Amino acid sequence: MLRLKDTHHQNTASFLASAIRIAEYYGFAHLDSIPRAVVPAGGSARRAIMPVSKVESEISFARRDERPLLSSVRKCLTRVQHVPGQNDVALLAWRTQGNTSGIPSLSFELHIVGSSSAIAEALLIVVANAIAEESGIAERALSINNIGSPDSSNRFVRDVGLYLRKHIESISPTLRPRAATDPLGTLVQLIERGHPAAPRAPQAMEYLTEDERRRFWELLEYLEVFGLPYELNAHILGSRDLWSHSLFEISTLDPESGARMVMAFGGRYDALASRFMRTPATGTMVSINCEVRGKTRIKREVKASQEEAQPAIYFAHLGGEARRRALLVLENLRHAQIPVHQGLWYDRIGEQMTAARTLAVPYILIMGHKEAMEGTILVREVATNSQDAIPLPELPNYLKRRRIGTWHQEAHA
């Protein structure tokens, strides 16, 4: 949990205001502000999302903090818009949830639903890291694991069960019955208790297929290009009824004891989304847990007009190399307080240009493979179709000199 005394924030409201500002820069919207999806004609069966109680009865929870995820995921799925004959449009949403068990705390959740690309996990990690950094948490550690697809995790859990059977005498009598029915949940308990058998247990990453390893490497490449250190940790686990592929934690050090304190947990919950939808579905999330202290209600800024609140720039990428470098470009623009629209979850440039036209932005930043390798970016003015190639280190100053930022700035240029 994030302790406010370790941050710059005086109260929970201050933390939330900072976290929301960063999340909304990257395109996340308050979940309650997103309208429910319109069910297309003949699509009622597709949108028959299962109730939480039904799904909950089917799940064996491996972690204590997994149960609240169900209501969040179901609520997100009801907001995903579906266009017949097209892929669902990715939904980026934030929400808060209170936790009254133990020390009163509040979870700030970020969800990306509808994207199967590893860029979704990478974006969530980057945003969560930025929130922690701006809170004043200097010492942070990112730990990542991968439990693969259901087939891979089935093989992993089978061998965990065999391993626990060999060490059953060393397991607490109160935990032994669970070892037979829920090997993974039992292993999580042993890890939390520091049991000596836990470090030698089978590791999920050893069971990944070649395709799953390539997918995992794609996520790690995003982090390496961004410059965010990480460690592979086989002890980051969760219920295979909820999660698939990547799981991650962000922890900080207790200045007094030197022990690690987990402040954020996340991963890809395709397995849970598919349970709710009864058809293949994708989703990923990160939850930052903060203690409740002082004020918790935030004051939202009131924009002078809707146009003033909208960025005047759309960032478009073309190719894998450009996509890998996009997160660092966006973070540098955020630090320079230059707002942009982006669609990192889109695979094709045509989809991004369509989005830019829909938003009617006057400027588009375009990074292709050539620009990514040269460290430049194209700044295109939509009205004239003219464009300049700008070195990335000079981009913020270039945009500021020309007052290219928000619609409000554009109107007064």
Residues 6+ apart with CB under 8 A from 28: 92, 93, 94, 110, 127
* Domains defined along the chain, listed by start: 4-148+208-291 (3.30.930.10), 306-411 (3.40.50.800)
Name the least confident of 133-137, 216-220, 304-308.
304-308
Q: Which of 22, 7, 12, 115 lies closest to 335, judged by CA?
A: 22
Contact status, residue 168 vs residue 186, Cβ threshold 8 Å: no
- Two tokens, residue 204: 């999920």
Q: Quote the pLDDT of residue 47.
A: 59
Q: Convert the pLDDT of each residue in 82-128 to its tens digit.
A: 554 455 578 999 999 987 666 788 999 999 999 999 999 999 999 99
pLDDT tens string 7-16: 999 999 999 9
Residues facing residue 305 across a β-bridge: none
Q: What is the mean pLDDT of the chain?
A: 90
Q: What is the pTM of this model?
A: 0.93
| Segment 142-185, tens digit of pLDDT | 999 999 999 999 999 999 999 999 999 999 999 999 999 999 99
pLDDT band at 330, cuts 50/70/90?
A: very high
DSSP class of 380: E
144, containing H or E segment: strand 140-146
Mean pLDDT of 268-278: 95
Longest C-alpha distance within the chain, in Å? 76
End-to-end CA distance of the chain: 45
Which DSSP string corresponds to 225-290?
A: HHT---EE-TT----TTT--SEEEEEEEE-TTT--EEEEEEEEE-HHHHHHHHTS---EEEEEEEE
